[in-house]
Amino acid sequence: MSKDIRIKKGLDINLVGAAELSTSKAILSNVYTIKLDDFHGITPKMLLKEGAEVKAGEPLFYNKSNEEMLFVSPVSGELVEIERGARRRILKLKILADKTQEVVEHKKLDLEKASGQDIKASFLKSGCWPFIKQRPYDVIANPATTPKAIFISGYVTAPLAADLDYVLKGKEGELQAAISALSKLTPGKIHVSVGKSSTSPLSGLKGVELHKISGPHPAGLVGTQINKIDPINKGELVWTVTPQDLVVIGEFLLTGKFNAERIVSLAGSCVKTPKYYITKIGAEISTFLYASGVNEENFRVINGDVLTGSKSAPRWISWIL
């Protein structure tokens, strides 16, 4: 049984150029870029040097404070550049992709028999763990802690953001596998939020507490939903996972392979054909930006939604969108 929550305060910004509900496959990118700024609260330590050959799903670096937490390559190819800043701080990693992709294969877990520790170890080794965020502070979750609950927001209110009901269509198996695994990492509930009149694939998941949200922005923000459903008190923490990251986690559990695929919406008033594209984490934005056509010479690219996204050159997609 679902619970209805209505957010009264807020404001929806109606912008022109929403993406049509049609999807194309983006042109394969030559270079994939990983920005270390996407991983808050970690100190990276490289496992590979420039010129090394990697497979998709192979570890590139680890978290200095937790050596078991690995961060993997989205594609197979050559690590052509490690860009560093002041005090040799790592800023970006660039991978020249192979035309034929090779993927690291892991042993598949038996979800019914696997313990919470087995699942944690598998997520840390495979590169899936960085998709799990911790509140307060919105940093990568500490695997040594236990959250009182896990929150997943499938309701989007940000202007021109991707329609998750459309993006997640056909991914019910992956979503359920991820939920079944995450349920073993908390003694509390897994709270899933969808729109009040939504037909989201998230609505039919087992082992979750479903909430139907209505109201203007910021009703779709997971922080707003946490405050309404189960506020964080002193000394408590919760974890959050985005729906598209759930799909990556679920596919890994079902296949034993890390698949960095993303469905993104290209939208905005200056885009001639706003639509959805299948691409991969770290891909060059130009692989689909110019394929759709842009009406104006002067425009800016925002990686993420209009309100919380970051200004970007038309070159790559962040690890976390």
pLDDT tens-digit readout, 233-288:
999 999 999 999 999 999 999 999 999 999 999 999 889 999 999 999 999 988 88
**Distances 305 to 29, 66, 221, 301, 320 between C-alpha atoms, Å:** 22, 31, 12, 10, 12
pLDDT value of residue 310: 85
Instruction: Give 320's DSSP letter.
Output: -
Rounded to whole angstroms, the maximal C-alpha distance in the chain is 57
Tokens of 33: 């870029």
Q: Running DSSP on this structure, what letter comes out for residue 189? A: -
DSSP assignment letter at 105: B
Amino acid (1-letter code) at residue 69? M
Cβ-in-10-Å burial (0-12, 13-18, 19+) of 170 comes to: exposed
Q: How confident is the model at residue 232 (pLDDT cuts 50, 70, 90)?
A: very high
Domain boundaries, the chain: 3-16+28-255
Q: Is the pLDDT of residue 317 over 80?
A: no
Q: Are β-strands 209-214 and 139-140 bridged in parallel, bridged antiparallel, or unpaired?
A: unpaired
Cα(72)–Cα(34) distance, rounded to whole angstroms? 10
Between the alpha carbon of residue 207 and those of residues 102, 191, 268, 309, the distances in Å are 35, 9, 37, 32
In angstroms, the CA 211 to CA 186 distance is 19
Report whether pLDDT(318) > 70. Answer: no
One-character DSSP codes across 219-274: TTSHHHHHHHHSPPPTT--EEE--HHHHHHHHHHHHHSB---EEEEEE-STTBSS-
Question: Cα dist. 145→39, 45, 91, 138 in Å?
Answer: 18, 22, 28, 15
Dump pLDDT digits (tens) for 139-173.
999 999 999 999 999 999 999 999 999 999 999 99
Give the pLDDT confidence score for residue 69 in this predicted structure.
97
**For the chain, percent of residues with pLDDT exceeding 70:** 97
pLDDT recorded at residue 289: 83
Could you tell me the pTM of the whole model? 0.94
- Kindly report, residue by residue over 62-100, the tens digit of the pLDDT: 999 999 999 999 999 999 999 999 999 999 999 999 999
